[in-house]
Each structure stands twice: as structure tokens, then as C-alpha cells.
């Protein structure tokens, strides 16, 4: 089962996240734009989705909103990972359904801690 989806248009950041998450023992898929990211999340049903905000075609906010609407209670835990750190951006992220909003650059270990917690919580919820 895919545990983490990374949706990031900057190739270097996307690849770095894929490697770090993979080395932490998680199965990861990725996409380089919002539309492909939405399709990937709906198809693969990951436990966690890490979304950039500013992407071509479809923003991370739009992806998050669509995922939460289309998947309902089965939607992944969404981490917005972006350079947009104004209070209005954070509020917009949460208004679109983001579970966590982190500002780039983020400490990879901190991000992985959040991913581990979200995956563990998702697995525990399966037994309820």
C-alpha cells in the first residue's frame, strides 16, 4: 500500500522528498503538478499527501480541497509544504482542508516525524 504521495513541481525538491521518505521505510509515489497529483492520490489512496501550494495547472489548495471532498473520511492526512508563509496563506490552507501547514525550508526529520505520526494514526483508525 502506498503510504505517502508527494505533489511538488520543483524536481529537485520532489526527488529529495521521495528519497528521504523512501529511506524512512515508506512506499512513496509522486507527481510534478496538481492535476497529476490529484489523479495519483485518487488512484493510489495514500495515507499522507504532501502538497506544494504553487503548482502549474492546479494549486495545492485546489488539490487538497478536491481530495477532501471526493474521498471524505478516507482522505489522506494532508501536509501543505510551501514557501507561502503569510498568515492568510496558512488560513487558506486550513480552509481548504489541510491538516498541517509547513513552511519551506523544512527540517526533513521534522517532516518525517509528522509523516510517521499520520501513518500510525491512519493504521490505528483501520481497527476502530
DSSP 34-72: HHHHHHHHHHH--SEEEE-SS-SSS-HHHHHHHHHHHHG
Q: Residue 123's pLDDT is what? A: 82
Most distant pair of Cα atoms in the chain: their distance? 39
Q: Residue 128's pLDDT is what? A: 62
SS3 state at 57? coil
Q: Which domain holds residue 69?
A: 4-125
Low-confidence ranges of the chain (pLDDT < 50): none
Q: What is the CATH number of the domain that holds 120?
A: 3.40.50.2300
Residues 54, 77: Cα–Cα separation, whole Å: 19
91: Cα separation from own chain's centroid: 17
Number of domains within the chain: 1
Q: Residue 38's pLDDT is what? A: 98
Amino acid at each position: 500500500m502506498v503510504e505517502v504521495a508527494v505533489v511538488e513541481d520543483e524536481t529537485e525538491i520532489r526527488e529529495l522528498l521521495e528519497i528521504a521518505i523512501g529511506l524512512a521505510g515508506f512506499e512513496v509515489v509522486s507527481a510534478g503538478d496538481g492535476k497529476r497529483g490529484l489523479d495519483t492520490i485518487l488512484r493510489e489512496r495514500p495515507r499522507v499527501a504532501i502538497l506544494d501550494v504553487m503548482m502549474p495547472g492546479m494549486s495545492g489548495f485546489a488539490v487538497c480541497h478536491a481530495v477532501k471532498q471526493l474521498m471524505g473520511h478516507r482522505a489522506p492526512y494532508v501536509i501543505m509544504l510551501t514557501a507561502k508563509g503569510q498568515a492568510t496563506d496558512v488560513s487558506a490552507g486550513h480552509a481548504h482542508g489541510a491538516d498541517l501547514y509547513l513552511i519551506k525550508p523544512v527540517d526533513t526529520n521534522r517532516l518525517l516525524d509528522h509523516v510517521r505520526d499520520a501513518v500510525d494514526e491512519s493504521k490505528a483508525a483501520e481497527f476502530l
